[in-house]
Amino acid sequence: MVMWIGLLLTFGLSLAGESPSSQLTAFIQSGGKNRSPGTTGAAQSLNWLREQVKKISGWEVDEHLFQPDTDFAVQNLKDDFKRLVVGKFPTQHPEYLKWKTFTTDAILFQEALRGRMGTNLILRKKGNKEGKATGREVVVVGAHYDTITHDHATMKITADMPAPGANDNGAAVITLLELARDLRDFKPSKALELVFFDFEEAFFLGSRAYAQVLKQRGGKAWLINLEMIGWSKPEPNRVKVYSRIKGTAGSEEDLLIAKSAEFFLKKEGLQAEILQNGFDRSDNWSFWQLGHPAITISQDWERNFDEKHYHTALDTADTVDWKQVLAIKQAVGEMVRGLVK
């Protein structure tokens, strides 16, 4: 009990005035039924985040309004189906039919979002050195705030169903807020940004739009992406650091930040492991496509993936392992201080 109180005090209670679990509950409630991209729920949760960042000093707050690249998402969905399914299964095989349904439905979902706008919320420190360190090279810590649900049997998207999204990706959102509080007085030499990404559940279109902005600025962006960090069963404290496949373009740069992440995660008592598998299930993928080094810190998808709660109404706040989330927050905070000092 004493240890748990200490953890809460360390993890923002004295700064935010409430525990991380209560912050997560408030965030979930702010969106109503769900925070699906382009919906009222997503807009309401964005408003909640706006109110929270207003209370945190030391950061320049910015918003990146973007029009999602629907054509890009639709083409990639078609390409994925051809690459991963066509020729691998007979056309009447249950797996073929399941993924054909998913692809058709996902394309309809994307088309329904055509013309809607998304918003990435950004907290920024420009860096206190002149030249390359200011705006030309930036460390980004990101977490998406939108949600989605789908039927696990058919893979059909059910975007209008309840999606509390506590692990995917509310715990990471609260972690990003806590990092903002922890680093409020920190004065980095290099530019640092904390970004709450929109439209992740719509083929990562929010991070893609922002990665394009960073590319147009010139220089280099390094992304540390937090994705589904609150699940630790059945083997507590196992986390993965995902990066590009060894030997592919950019993989060595990914590995530099992956090794830093692994070191600090292990320092916090986590069983961290780097996996160079080209993980393409989160916002890191967008940054790779635009030429930026990126890693994702997440649950162990290969051993302990949370299939039961993933993209369902069961992804609730009571399932989050706050001890693990705290350890990840502490590790990322120390890692970031080293990268931008």
Residue 62 pLDDT more than 50?
Answer: yes
Tell whether 12 is covered by a domain: no
What gap in Å lies between CA 280 and CA 248, rounded to an integer? 14
Instruction: Yes or no: say if 110 and 73 are a contact pair by the CB < 8 Å rule.
Output: yes
Tell whether 5 is covered by a domain: no
Residue 234 pLDDT more than 60?
Answer: yes
Model confidence at 159, in pLDDT bands (50, 70, 90)? confident
Radius of gyration in angstroms for the set of CA atoms belonging to the chain, rounded to a whole number: 19
Tell whether 7 is covered by a domain: no
Tell whether 13 is covered by a domain: no
Q: So what's the pLDDT on residue 136?
A: 74
CA dihedral 314, 114, 47, 287 (to 10 degrees): 80
Q: Strand pairing partners for 123?
A: 61, 194
Residue 89 pLDDT more than 80?
Answer: yes
Tell whether 3 is covered by a domain: no
Residue 15 pLDDT more than 60?
Answer: no
Q: So what's the pLDDT on residue 128?
A: 82
Residue 293 pLDDT more than 90?
Answer: yes
- Phi and psi angles of residue 325, each rounded to the nearest 5 degrees, phi first: -60, -45
What gap in Å lies between CA 243 and CA 251, rounded to an integer? 7
Q: Are residues 77 and 189 in the same domain?
A: no
Q: Are residues 108 and 177 in the same domain?
A: no
Residue given tokens 């950019």 in the structure block: 250
As a whole number, the mean pLDDT across the chain is 92
Q: Are residues 252 and 325 in the same domain?
A: yes
Mean predicted confidence (pLDDT) in 118-122? 98
* Containing structural domain, residue 93: 69-112
Percent of the chain with pLDDT over 70: 93
Q: Are residues 204 and 283 in the same domain?
A: yes
**Tally of domains in the chain:** 2
Q: So what's the pLDDT on residue 65?
A: 98
Q: Strand pairing partners for 118?
A: 66
Q: So what's the pLDDT on residue 121?
A: 98
Buried b (16+ CB within 10 A) or exposed e, 260-299: bbbebbeebebebbbbbebbbebbbbbbbbbebbbbbbbb
Q: Are residues 263 and 168 in the same domain?
A: yes
Mean predicted confidence (pLDDT) in 317-335? 97
Residue 287 pLDDT more than 60?
Answer: yes
Residue 8 pLDDT more than 70?
Answer: no
Q: Are residues 307 and 195 in the same domain?
A: yes
Q: Strand pairing partners for 295?
A: 224
Q: Are residues 263 and 324 in the same domain?
A: yes
Identify the helix (H) or strand (E) that includes residue 326.
helix 322-340
Q: Give me the sheet containing 118-125, strands edge to edge.
A: 60-66, 118-125, 191-197, 137-144, 220-227, 294-299, 238-243, 271-276
13-22, 122-131, 147-156, 332-341: range with highest mean pLDDT: 332-341
Residue 326 pLDDT more than 90?
Answer: yes
- In the three-class reduction of DSSP (H, G, I as helix; E, B as strand; rest coil), residue 237 is classed as coil
Q: Are residues 275 and 297 in the same domain?
A: yes
Residue 24 pLDDT more than 80?
Answer: yes
Residue 131 pLDDT more than 60?
Answer: no
Q: Are residues 157 and 91 in the same domain?
A: no
Mean predicted confidence (pLDDT) in 217-234? 94
Q: So what's the pLDDT on residue 152?
A: 87
Q: So what's the pLDDT on residue 55?
A: 96
Mean predicted confidence (pLDDT) in 112-132? 86
Which pTM value belongs to this model? 0.94
Q: So what's the pLDDT on residue 156?
A: 86
Mean predicted confidence (pLDDT) in 110-137? 82
In terms of C-beta density within 10 A (0-12 exposed, 13-18 middle, 19 or more buried), how is residue 218 classed? Answer: exposed
Please report, for the domain that includes residue 200, its CATH number: 3.40.630.10
Q: So what's the pLDDT on residue 16?
A: 53
Q: 175 or 152: which carries more pLDDT confidence?
A: 175
Model confidence at 17, in pLDDT bands (50, 70, 90)? low
